[in-house]
Amino acid sequence: MQPTRLAQQTAPTVVESGQALANRRIPDGRPTHNDHRKPGDVTESNWAANLDYAATAVHRPVSVEEVQELVAAHPRVRPLGTRHSFTDIADSPGGILISLEDLPADIQVDHDAGTVSVNPGTTYAVLAGRLEEEGLALPNLASLPHISIGGAIATATHGSGDTNGILATSVAAIEVVRGDGSLTRVDRTSTDLPALAVGLGAFGVYTRVELDVEPTYAVAQHIYTNASWESTIEDLDEIMASAYSVSLLGDIGASRMRNLWLKHKIGREPRGFPSTIHGGSRIDDTALPHGHSLTRIGGVPGPWSRRMAHFRPDAPPSAGGDELQTEYFVDRRHGRDAMRVLRSMGDRISPHLRAMEIRSLAADDLWLSPAYRRPSLCLGFTWHKHPEAVEALLPEIEAALDDFEPRPHWGKLFALGDLADRFPRLGDFLGLAAAYDTTRTFWNPFMDRLAGSREVGTR
């Protein structure tokens, strides 16, 4: 099969969003949708092993043509990344999953255009290394570089920084295999790109992504331990603006945070670093435990590719998958109040919490970005693997934050129901997804809940 390129799509059709994500079910580590399985099916799980996929098979094509053939031949398909999502967003009950991990990375740099194109199954670690060789960079990375480009942009994954957007804001073009197996290219000449950039897997299998790049830069990072939560919250805007990328990590219910993490872009910010911040002391690598997985700290300058992520690509990130995660984005102007609300819930949150990570983001215009048209403070929870307790806590946390209109991270656990008022372009998104996928090949229970309907269309 030869790729078929289609003409640019017309303006999206608006559909009623209905009750989005009604009756949200949090994956609890037990197999789900197993009525779709057949005897002898191999159980495939996500990274954290809190979700068994209900798809019948995982395919790993080695060419775009093979992707097209697989999509055309199967009525139910979902793209699969590196499995770092904690929800069933990537599942396809009774259908197949397509992973691009065996597709060549085929990294193509265009210095004149200031872009790089790549197989979206490629990890950010691989892409970052190649870009550094070319003297180029991405503006930001997520906390871990182990994730695939396609999965990261589809779920609105992000790093931190007052002037930095989510990773998908770098998307300049996408090539997507649609439900009939045809191939479409969407770039910035199309009004569709802001929808596809954070596409939730709803438009098809992305086989090529083009990203904006910039000249390489060096970064020095510092960690301060035991800073005061209260004084940091009081000076939140100043703290979050004090470096190119800032993260606050620790137990939100404690008096002092574990780590205040500053990443300074060399040449852009002054090189003077205080020895203490709000009672927190600066540390270097010698203070870290043997065998730690963090990138180099202590103010030692290094390439962005080895500093912007928290975790090294050659080591397990975070808690190694022995965890659950949740994240909410609130308007930056409500950041202090939201943090104080969470601190007031510390007696209920802390027993189940590994750490919170609080980050900042610039606003964007991507339709289903949680930072859509509002600068955001990101309230991330890494939980112990206490699924029942977390499931019970999330509605309570969301109710406490309700005045701040929290928006969820699509790949992490949440209990919010109707999201139409939180994502103003949700109806437009669903209409455009239906236009791209007329056979509902890429529909799944996650999308079904998002559209407010339990009926999954048939092909």
pLDDT at residue 177 greater than cutoff 70: yes
Greater model confidence, 295 or 362:
362
Query: Tens of pLDDT along 146-157?
Result: 899 999 999 999
Q: Tell me, what's the pLDDT at 219? A: 95
DSSP 347: H
Architecture of domain 108-215: 2-Layer Sandwich (3.30)
Domains 34-102+420-450 and 108-215 share a fold: no
Q: Tell me, what's the pLDDT at 410? A: 97
3-state helix, strand, coil in the chain (%, to 5): 25, 25, 50
289 band by pLDDT with thresholds 50, 70 and 90:
low
Range of 151-160, 291-300, 445-454 with top mean pLDDT: 151-160
Query: Tens of pLDDT along 14-70?
Result: 222 222 222 222 232 222 333 333 433 446 898 888 999 999 999 999 999 999 999
Q: Tell me, what's the pLDDT at 232? A: 96
pLDDT at residue 176 greater than cutoff 60: yes
Q: Measured between alpha carbons, how far is 361 from 209 in angstroms, rounded to an integer?
A: 22
Q: Which candidate, 407, 402, 401, 395, places its Cα nearest to that of 368?
A: 407
Any idea which residue has 């202590």 for tokens? 298
Please give the mean pLDDT across all residues of the chain: 87
Give the residue-averaged pLDDT of 332-340. 98
Q: What is the CATH T-level fold of the domain 34-102+420-450, as seen in this structure?
A: 3.30.43
Greater model confidence, 449 or 187:
187
Percent of the chain with pLDDT over 70: 85
Greater model confidence, 25 or 121:
121
pLDDT at residue 455 greater than cutoff 70: no
Cα separations (Å) of 312 from 230, 317, 383? 31, 7, 21
Residues 23/31, Cβ–Cβ less than 8 Å: no
Query: Tens of pLDDT along 54-112?
Result: 999 999 999 999 999 999 999 999 999 999 899 999 999 999 999 999 999 999 999 99
pLDDT at residue 312 greater than cutoff 90: no
299 band by pLDDT with thresholds 50, 70 and 90:
confident
Query: Tens of pLDDT along 223-251?
Result: 999 999 999 999 999 999 999 999 999 99
Residues 82/186, Cβ–Cβ less than 8 Å: no
Query: Tens of pLDDT along 404-417?
Result: 999 999 999 999 88
**Tokens (6 digits) for 287:** 């203070």
Q: Tell me, what's the pLDDT at 310? A: 85
Q: Tell me, what's the pLDDT at 264? A: 94
Domain boundaries, the chain: 34-102+420-450, 108-215, 218-408
pLDDT at residue 428 greater than cutoff 80: yes
Tell me the sheet residues that pair with 175: 185, 208
DSSP 148: B
Least confident of 77-81, 141-145, 152-156, 441-445: 141-145
297 band by pLDDT with thresholds 50, 70 and 90:
confident
**Which of 3.40.50.2000, 3.30.70.2520, 3.90.420.10, 3.40.190.10 is the CATH number of 218-408?**
3.30.70.2520
291 band by pLDDT with thresholds 50, 70 and 90:
low
**Tokens (6 digits) for 191:** 């009004």
Strands 205-212 and 57-59: unpaired
